[in-house]
Structure 1
Amino acid sequence: MPKAYVFTAHGGPEVEAFLDVAKPEPGPGQLLVAVRAAGVNPVDWKLRAGKRRPGQAPLSGHEVLGSEIAGVVERVGPGVTGFAAGDSVFGNPVTGGYAEFTLLPADIAAHKPDALSYPEAAVLPVAAATAYDGLRQLDLPAGATLLITGAGGGVGVAAAQMARHFGLRVVGTASAGKKEFVESLGAVHVPPGPRLAERVLEAAPDHRVDAVFDLVGGADLVEVAELLTDRGKLITAAAKETVAELGGAPVARARTSAVLDEVALLAAAGVLRPHVTATYPLDRADEALRAVESGHARGKVVIEVSGEAAT
């Protein structure tokens, strides 16, 4: 039977386990995909910890971890058009990504460009698509200055690169150890800590900030919000309730194939470098998730699944 890495209850790492699972059957509008690579994201351990998405079904038995993958279509479900067995695809699975097989909804899946490897494509659906959606939501003119808090993580890295491509000036907060990395993205680096807003203004071009793309929440979000005269230019992917109190908004996710196609084109053109910084085989999925859960991962972590997935 196919292998998968799952959680069996809500809690810490102790509720995770490797299991043999049945190969899923594609329903209407779905693709059965043999997974080649799965991105690892903070949302994975947060769901395991019990931070469920609104409207998400309660946990029953076990749930496969993982929210983004790239792989090869093995079979298409009823009503699917535009995809066929043998196609290389990527997207957000509905049956988890840390597995040898998963299901992708065809309407939020996209074809993998030949220029991208499976690990590179696998890290686009969550971080890069979130970054793209956020930048389109802010709709800033070229020359505007964008502050990204948490610029060294997956979403921040993608947002900084795309913002620079769109003609924006970028200031990014990240730990001192990520200074060189953040600067390599074309951003001005500012470490977190006391007097954050003041130090951001000192570092920012023309000593102003036109928008904030927050990825950390907490006290940093509250402080940097004071830099904006227009709170409509304050968005977050980390603290929905706090940003609402501050007059901003959460990132409005589109979750469409069209967005995945756009970020894939940017990646294939070299505008967006996926920055896969660590890879683990499926049988070390626990280590991959710990690397992300520690909060110190730089760029993107990927689980690579054998090309000879179990049948």
Structure 2
Amino acid sequence: MPKAYVFTRYGGPETEALVDMDRPDPGPGRLLVAVRAAGVNPVDWKQRNGFRRPGEPEERAFPVVFGNEVSGVVEEIGDGVEGFAVGDEVFGPALAGGYAEYALVPAAIAAHKPADLAHTVAATLPVAAATAYDGVRQLDLPTGATLLVTGAGGGVGAAAVQIARAFGLRVVGVASEGKKDFVESLGAIHVTSGPGWAERARETAPDGVYDLVGGRVLAEAAELLTDRSKLVTAGAPEEEVRRLGGARVARARNAAVLREVAQLALEGNLDPHITATFPLDRAGDALRTVEEGHARGKTVIEVTR
């Protein structure tokens, strides 16, 4: 039977297990994808802890497969699906988990993987890179403006820095001192996070802020702006940022954005900086690198057959 890495109840790492699961049925509008790679994101362990996105059901049916983004090969096509064929290489969001040998991907928001793009790279794009792209586009800053990115050393932050640079923006990245070289290698001006960071950043005179941290950092970042409409966050709830005059990142969640970020990657303007890869039977180790905050850039699970 196919393998999948799951959590069996809400809690910590003790709830995780590699198990045998039936191969999913694609159903109408879906693709059954033989997974070649799955991206690892902070939201994965947060969901294990009980986090739910707006609109998600109050209760999940356990066991729940980890993972929200995959790249692989179409194995089966559900009713009503057009534009895809068995054997196509695709990438997109995973409907019912991606740390698995098989995953379901909604055809409406899946994209064909360019032949020159590795599965490991494509698997990092649907969550982190697409979120970064949506936020930078939402801010709509003019060429030459300055964008400040908090949490610039993580997966979304690193993508946001690179995408903003590709759009002609000057970028300031807030991250730990240990990530200074990494942030500067992305083309950003580094500002050390921690107490007093906002004063250190003030002299850069940001025109917009893309926040990935939330809480006090978000509130302090808002104080750096004269126009609070140029404040977006993917690190705080809607009500928190609205009190400050900003907004949550409005996710497009469509194939067009996936094609855009894939093209940026092919052109060399977006490097996910994959710093660690793990086989499926070490998915727990992959998740720990992200959950414990040790990862720079992206961590990927590779699924081999």
Q: Per the shorter chain, which TM-score range?
A: over 0.9
Match of 2:122 in 1: 121
| SS of residue paired to 1:216 | coil
The runs of 5 or more residues in structure 1 that have no matched partner are: none
TM-fit CA distance, 1:193? 1.8
Distance 1:35 1:43 in 2: 19
Residue 209 of structure 2 corresponds to residue 212 of structure 1: yes
Distance 1:95 1:201 in 2: 43
TM-fit CA distance, 1:196? 1.6
Residue 273 of structure 2 corresponds to residue 275 of structure 1: yes
The one-letter amino acid of 2:178's match is G
| SS of residue paired to 2:278 | strand
- Per mean C-alpha deviation after superposition, the further-off stretch among 264-273 and 279-288 is 264-273
| SS of residue paired to 1:296 | coil
TM-fit CA distance, 1:250? 0.5
Aligned runs of 1:83-102 on 2, under 5 Å? 83-102=84-103
Distance 2:187 2:43 in 1: 27
| SS of residue paired to 1:170 | strand
| SS of residue paired to 1:134 | helix
The runs of 5 or more residues in structure 2 that have no matched partner are: none
Residue 4 of structure 2 corresponds to residue 10 of structure 1: no
Q: Cα–Cα, structure 1 residues 114 and 195, in superposed 2: closer, same or farther, change >3 Å?
A: same
Distance 1:253 1:201 in 2: 29
The one-letter amino acid of 2:302's match is E
Distance 2:157 2:94 in 1: 23
TM-fit CA distance, 1:59? 1.5
TM-fit CA distance, 1:194? 2.1
User: What are the Cα deviations for residues 220-278 of structure 1, in whole angstroms up to 9, with x where unaligned?
Assistant: 11111101111100000011232121111000000001110111111111111121110
**Taking structure 1 as the reference length, what is the TM-score of the superposition?**
0.96
Match of 2:165 in 1: 164
Aligned runs of 1:26-175 on 2, under 5 Å? 26-57=26-57, 58-175=59-176
Distance 1:125 1:107 in 2: 13
| SS of residue paired to 1:167 | coil
- Residue pair 1:70, 1:121 contacting (<8 A) in 2 also: yes
Distance 2:55 2:221 in 1: 32
The one-letter amino acid of 1:289's match is L
Distance 2:245 2:51 in 1: 24
Distance 1:90 1:19 in 2: 24
- Residue pair 1:32, 1:103 contacting (<8 A) in 2 also: yes
Match of 2:260 in 1: 262
TM-fit CA distance, 1:70? 0.3
Kindly tell me the number of residue pairs found equivalent between the two proteins: 303
User: What are the Cα deviations for residues 65-124 of structure 1, in whole angstroms up to 9, with x where unaligned?
Assistant: 000000000111111111101110000011100000011000111011112110000000
Structure 1: 4+ residue segments shifted above 2 A: none
**Taking structure 2 as the reference length, what is the TM-score of the superposition?**
0.98
How much is the aligned-residue C-alpha RMSD, in angstroms?
0.8
Match of 1:222 in 2: 219
The one-letter amino acid of 2:228's match is R
Match of 1:303 in 2: 301
Match of 2:249 in 1: 251
Match of 1:235 in 2: 232
Distance 2:269 2:15 in 1: 39
Distance 1:238 1:218 in 2: 8
User: What are the Cα deviations for residues 120-151 of structure 1, in whole angstroms up to 9, with x where unaligned?
Assistant: 00000000000000011000000100000000
TM-fit CA distance, 1:218? 1.7
- Residue pair 2:176, 2:194 contacting (<8 A) in 1 also: no
| SS of residue paired to 2:263 | helix
Match of 1:284 in 2: 282
